[in-house]
Amino acid sequence: MSGQVKRAFKYRFYPTDVQAAELARTFGCVRMVYNLALQARTEAWNLRQERVGYNTTSAMLTTWKHTDELAFLNDVSSVPLQQTLRHLQAAFVNFWAKRARYPRFKSRKRSRASAEYTRSAFRFRDGVLTLAKMAEPLEVRWSRPLPAGAVPSTVTVSRDPAGRWFVSLLCEDTGVIPLSPADSAVGIDLGLDHLLVLSTGEKILNLRPERRDRLALAKAQRASSRKQRGSNNMVKARTKVARIHARIADRRSDHLHKVTTRLVRENQTLVIEDLAVSNMVGNRRLARAIADAGWRQFRRMLEYKASWYGREVVVLDRWFPSSKLCSACGARAAAMPLHVRVWTCDCGTKHDRDVNAACNILAAGLAATVCGADVRPQRNSPLRLSVTKQKALRCEPRELLSSTRNEVNHHSWG
């Protein structure tokens, strides 16, 4: 793992008026080249059933630069224009592999304003970063140091809707090494009253970052809706709304980073459920709360940090009935409405709904990891638990690990 992890270090910077104008021109040219190439590739397929690749679009870019209408493309660095063609090629590869939708055209108002520079288009020396076509270096706020001896391979400059400028340096971080193995494992149940409920009984608070700024956001949005379209006042009002959204997103991201880092450091195995967040936000009553919790962002952070530090993330099937199963006897309740937060099993065990679900998630995850057990129930028939699953739902994590290891050793040598 050491020396092979590439990390992007993001910093805020403050461009001069000349630099801001140059970068704005670059963003516009990048967006135009992307849209022209996408249109050319789409027409080639629709009219001639022909697949156009990166090399062809690169030759098209050279032709476009020699036309009177697109001669302004020569005024900016050529590297970001080539990089946007590579990004379009990657988008088509993901589309052909059925990992993403068909690429869409970039919008001046809605798309992310960014430009990527490779090593031939920037100079980084002694903490001073200078981009191509610029005489002065960028005024970057180095909020944290880069890894010792790190040499950026790419530099991405971006501007968010709130008007903030950021530069992201992609480097190899030799300091990322696997942590020492831990004996602990944890099941994680995601919720709304509490962001996370762990199988240990710990409940992590949901900060609800959007709720704290809801009134200010509503006021700013109402003010924006009253402005005349296309006016300077409309631009100012939209920027104010974007700043509130940015503050909410930063608060959420900071909390999730702290939580995921602690969980990865303390546990060797982390078990979560595969939640269909895009489907769940279809519930009008819970959509805002689900989006505010950031479940998808939590899972993404947990997975890449676990891969960095030698931890394992086990994802259970979304249909696993974690809330309906008794973690003591393995019996399954007939129904479990959302308003039921505490329930008592027929065996006499009283359960906190979320803690019980987290314990079931942990047990099923360990069973799937150690014994290869299936955790997906049959939808049209009563749940039939295998012996391994019954043992998993009754045992403590350490007991389960020891018992399953003994079974594996017995079958291996028997």
Q: What is the pLDDT of residues 124-165, one digit of tens each?
A: 998 899 999 999 999 999 999 998 888 999 999 999 999 999
- 217 domain-assigned: no
User: Model pTM?
Assistant: 0.82
Position 374 pLDDT exceeds 70: no
Same domain, 53 and 94: yes
Same domain, 108 and 194: no
Active site residue: 354, 396, 399, 407, which one? 354
Mean pLDDT of 259-281: 92
- 144 domain-assigned: yes
Same domain, 278 and 369: yes
Token code pair at residue 196: 């996370």
User: Final residue of a domain: which of 172, 199, 224?
Assistant: 172
Active site residue: 173, 189, 210, 292, which one? 189
- 39 domain-assigned: yes
* Longest alpha-carbon distance in the chain: 82
Active site residue: 172, 210, 273, 292, which one? 273
Tell me whether residue 160 is one of the annotated catalytic residues.
no
Same domain, 258 and 310: yes
Same domain, 271 and 408: yes
The residues near 228 (Cβ < 8 Å, ≥ 6 apart) are: 234
Same domain, 286 and 257: yes
Tell me whether residue 193 is one of the annotated catalytic residues.
no
For 309, phi then psi, to 5°, come to -105, 20
Position 113 pLDDT exceeds 60: yes
Other C-beta atoms lying within 10 Å of the C-beta of residue 97: 8
User: Final residue of a domain: which of 127, 146, 172?
Assistant: 172
Mean pLDDT of 51-64: 95
- 236 domain-assigned: no
Ramachandran quadrant class, 163 (left: phi over 0; alpha: psi -120 to 50; beta: rest): left
* Number of domain units in the chain: 2
- 374 domain-assigned: yes
pLDDT in tens, 292-345: 999 999 999 999 999 999 999 999 988 888 888 898 888 888 888 888 888 888
Same domain, 158 and 277: no
Same domain, 276 and 314: yes
- 109 domain-assigned: yes
Same domain, 140 and 192: no
- 43 domain-assigned: yes
Q: How does the average pLDDT of the chain come out, rounded?
A: 87
pLDDT attached to residue 255: 96
Same domain, 197 and 163: no
Q: How confident is the model at residue 373 (pLDDT cuts 50, 70, 90)?
A: low
Position 247 pLDDT exceeds 90: yes
Tell me whether residue 22 is one of the annotated catalytic residues.
no
Domain region containing 139: 6-172
Position 71 pLDDT exceeds 90: yes
Same domain, 145 and 193: no
